[in-house]
Amino acid sequence: MSQEKIFTVGITGASGAIYGVRLVQELLKTDYKVHLIITEAGWQVFKEELLFETSDREKLLNELFINSKGNLHYHTLRDFTAPIASGSYRNEGMVIIPCSMGTLSGIAHGASGNLLERTADVMLKEGRKLLLVPRETPLNQIHLENMLKVSQVGGKIIPAMPGFYQLPKTMDDLINFVVGKVLDNIGVDHQLFTRWGD
């Protein structure tokens, strides 16, 4: 695999965009190179849920990830020339956080209709890590079957379900728990929550 530490992060239009923002911040903190894809619906969630000013997207990304040190690479959905669209580009994997049910469906059925879906398809065909963090409730049979399909071909499903055994006191504690579980599953050290028994 690559000697560089490289991950792709996708942020879709499901509620919970803050999870994706926090994950990117944590990866950049640990000197990962991050390829970031945000869907149009994801940008809408930034505006409506996080109350971010999204008219100047580049400025917002620079503010959110101020200490990226050149390690953040943003791609649009139509940028099929991006290195992450090819299996020959070596990297450690991909996390889609939060993952909408529409994106889940596209991945489960191999649609590759945009760069996000294509990159996820590359992770599966190359046997690399693919983690999906769905944020939807309730789930219907189609949702569950799509999660099963992705799981059966090597993806991992990590629902955005915070634990409470660490006695969270703030919203940040709940966010950090979910992001910490993702980091655990991609092998990245962190101090985002207190582990059971610690």
pLDDT in tens, 63-120: 999 878 889 999 999 999 999 999 999 999 999 999 999 999 999 999 999 999 999 9
Domain range 6-186, its CATH number among 3.40.50.720, 3.40.50.1950, 3.40.1550.10, 3.40.50.1100 = 3.40.50.1950
Q: What's the CA gap between 139 and 97, in Å, rounded?
A: 17
Q: What's the CA gap between 116 and 9, in Å, rounded?
A: 9
Would you place residue 6 in the very low, low, confident or very high pLDDT band (cuts 50, 70, 90)? very high
For 11, other C-beta atoms within 10 Å of its C-beta total: 29
List residues forming the annotated binding site. Answer: 13-15, 39, 100-103, 135, 165, 181
pTM of the predicted model as reported, rounded to 2 decimal places: 0.96
List residues forming the annotated binding site for dimethylallyl phosphate. Answer: 165, 181
Nearest to 135 by CA among 105, 104, 159, 156: 159
Would you place residue 186 in the very low, low, confident or very high pLDDT band (cuts 50, 70, 90)? very high
CA angle 131/33/17 to nearest 5° reads 50
List residues forming the annotated binding site for FMN. Answer: 13-15, 39, 100-103, 135
CB-CB contact of 23 with 97 (8 Å): yes
Q: Which of 78-82, 126-130, 180-184, 188-192 has the lowest mean pLDDT?
A: 188-192
Residue 108: HSE in the Cβ half-sphere, 13 Å Cα cutoff: 21
Q: What's the CA gap between 83 and 197, in Å, rounded?
A: 42
Size (the chain), residues: 198
